[in-house]
Amino acid sequence: MKKRSEILVLHGPNLNLLGRREPEIYGKTTLAQIDDSLRALAKESDVEVTCRQSNHEGQLIDWIQEAVGSFTGIVFNPGGYTHTSVALRDAVAAVATLGVPTIEVHLSNVLAREEFRSKSMIAPAALGQISGFGAQSYLLGLRALLQVKKEGKEQ
């Protein structure tokens, strides 16, 4: 019997405040609601998801590295680290070479916001990026990752 795919979902800094933090930008959906939606989609797709959130760059890097051997892919919203973290970019690139691709997701359309948000350090190392669809960005990211894994068209 084939082992079920296991997907790691990582939420970066300040995403624990979703639903309360700047709802005009990030919406009113809470992080718990996003995680529940991801679990429901995963169940329909016969995969498992593990969802984690941290405000700490080093913790996110540890989880990305620990994904090797445990997860088949990562859906990652790096939050504000998107624009600043070479270390997270390097971790995403490293695990991609070891068979764990990452889809970068964002709730808001980062390209329609402040200019400093237009450059993602993560995107060049990720398999793809989805932004601007609110909580749906996560579900679209999961669907994209599952489709790529099914087709065997990883990086």
Active site residues: 26, 106
3-state secondary structure string across the chain: CCCCCEEEEEECCCHHHCCCCCHHHHCCCCHHHHHHHHHHHHHHCCCEEEEEECCCHHHHHHHHHHCCCCCCEEEEECHHHHHCCHHHHHHHHHHHHCCCCEEEEECCCHHHCCHHHHCCCCHHHCCEEEECCCCHHHHHHHHHHHHHHHHCCCC
Q: Which residues of 145-154 are buried (b: 16+ CB within 10 A; e: fewer)?
A: bbebbeeeee
